Amino acid sequence: MTAFEARREDFYGLEADYPPESVQARDMVRQWVTDHIRPQAGSWWLEGRFPTHLIEEMARLGVFGPTLPEVYGGSEASALTYGLMMQELERGDSGLRSFASVQSGLAMYAIYRYGSEEQKQTYLPRMAAGQVIGCFGLTEPDAGSDPGAMRTTARRSDRGFILQGAKRWITNGTLADVAVIWAKDEAGIVRGFIVPTDTPGFTAREIHTKASMRMSVTAELYMDQVEVSPDAILPAAEGLGAPLGCLTQARYGIAWGTVGAALDCLDTSVTYTKSRIAFGRPIAATQLVQERLADMLSEVVAMQLRARQLARLYETGRLRYPQVSLAKRDNARGALTVARMARELLGGNGISVDYPPMRHLANLETVDTYEGTYEVHTLILGRDLVGENAF
């Protein structure tokens, strides 16, 4: 890395406080993404294909459940290390980070936080190894921002529980071996279930119409009288707070991941504008282009500071979910702003997947929406400020 590159990557010198193991994990993931993802990302994105052949390599990098105890296949990594891993995956493509976020922050975390000891031992080590893929079914066709309005039901049967309903926009839905499904019981209380996706009555159908997040598999799930055994229920999950607790983990990963997408856009813009000649000189030597680059840097630094402080709060047990909402909301929006500026600076080339900004820009439209839209996080912050629920 040249001195110029190092400066824009870490303009405020945050890395000086990073422990060596965090830097090492970040660099390892970054190198892997450079070697295995970047060269193909544009074509996989156009084809609408997730590189499933790389799942086991991702597992070897340790990006699935890294913060979990070793006994469950984790490496007891810090929140900072986890964040930096997500940053490097999303530098490659938001779909790659999404795959890891859903596997780790949503599916594995749900089992770790709300599962029985037997469920943890059965699933977590194999999920960390990439041998079992998970998905997380909360959103429904008619319940997205307001998951409390879900219609999927779980009623007791002689042999366990019967699930009935549909989920929509489920990342990894057709790749998953197990789905963590959220459903209301007879009393209307939200419960979580680990559902093997080969259970009779369970169908996953891929959504092929996406113009965003194309390197990620997204699906609809249908459950028609799906009967699961009594030990499929997550015993410690009772009420909407349980799935929302999982969202806090994934939103934390997004706060970091978006920094990676923004850094990639900034890097691409600097390199491109230094070599692109117009009116007899590099466009980087014009004032308007430099202003644009400075604006991008300013946004990136603000995003990095939010993510870094979030890691500190997490590691010291002081993290409150509205703080995560602020970082998710503003980092997703910040990355979108940076990607849009990068796309403009690349002119006509900016709309081609031969360069990353348009791909990041399109992906970030999803990132801005999923895990709580900009408006939802605004209202979470409003409620935190004034104590009034305005949803």
Residues that bind ligand FAD (CB under 6 A): 102, 136-139, 144-145, 169-171, 213, 218, 366, 369-373, 375-376, 391
Evaluate whether 254 touches 367 at the Cβ level (below 8 Å). Answer: yes
When the beta carbons of 93 and 264 are compared against ligand TGC, the nearer one is: 93
> Would residue 371 show up in a list of annotated catalytic residues for this protein?
yes
Q: Which of 32, 123, 256, 370 binds ligand TGC (CB under 6 A)?
A: 370
148 binds, among ligand TGC, ligand FAD, none (CB under 5 to 8 A by kind): ligand TGC
Min CB(342)–ligand TGC separation in Å: 22
Catalytically annotated residue among 88, 90, 140, 371 = 371
* Phi-psi region at 130: left, alpha or beta (left = phi > 0; alpha = psi -120 to 50): left
Q: Which of 28, 166, 207, 244 binds ligand TGC (CB under 6 A)?
A: 244
Evaluate whether 182 touches 161 at the Cβ level (below 8 Å). Answer: no
- Residue number with the smallest Cβ distance to ligand FAD: 144
Min CB(183)–ligand FAD separation in Å: 12
> What gap in Å lies between CA 372 and CA 369, rounded to an integer?
6
Q: How many residues bind ligand TGC (CB under 6 A)?
A: 25
Site for ligand TGC in 133-172 (CB under 6 A): 136, 138-139, 145, 147-148, 171
Site for ligand TGC in 180-199 (CB under 6 A): none
When the beta carbons of 196 and 282 are compared against ligand FAD, the nearer one is: 196
When the beta carbons of 251 and 308 are compared against ligand TGC, the nearer one is: 251
Gyration radius of the chain over CA positions: 21
To 10 degrees, the CA torsion angle through 36, 345, 332, 149? -100
Q: What are phi and psi of 273, to 5 degrees?
A: -70, -25
Residue 227 β-bridge partners: 162
When the beta carbons of 120 and 167 are compared against ligand TGC, the nearer one is: 167
When the beta carbons of 69 and 148 are compared against ligand TGC, the nearer one is: 148
Evaluate whether 198 touches 228 at the Cβ level (below 8 Å). Answer: no
Per-position b or e across 287-296, b if 16+ CB within 10 A of its CB: eebeebbeeb
The answer to whether residue 382 forms part of the interface with ligand TGC (CB under 6 A) is: no
**36: enclosing H helix or E strand:** helix 20-36
Neighbours of 312 (CB within 10 A): 13
Evaluate whether 207 touches 218 at the Cβ level (below 8 Å). Answer: yes
**Residues with Cβ within 8 Å of residue 384, at least 6 apart in sequence:** 320, 322
> What gap in Å lies between CA 384 and CA 322, rounded to an integer?
7
When the beta carbons of 88 and 371 are compared against ligand TGC, the nearer one is: 371
Evaluate whether 338 touches 262 at the Cβ level (below 8 Å). Answer: yes
369 binds, among ligand FAD, ligand TGC, none (CB under 5 to 8 A by kind): ligand FAD
Residue 12 β-bridge partners: none
Q: Which of 160, 201, 245, 382 binds ligand TGC (CB under 6 A)?
A: 245
73 binds, among ligand TGC, ligand FAD, none (CB under 5 to 8 A by kind): none
Binding site for ligand TGC (CB under 6 A): 98, 101-102, 136, 138-139, 145, 147-148, 171, 239-241, 244-245, 247-248, 250, 321, 370-372, 376, 380, 391
Residues designated as active site: 371
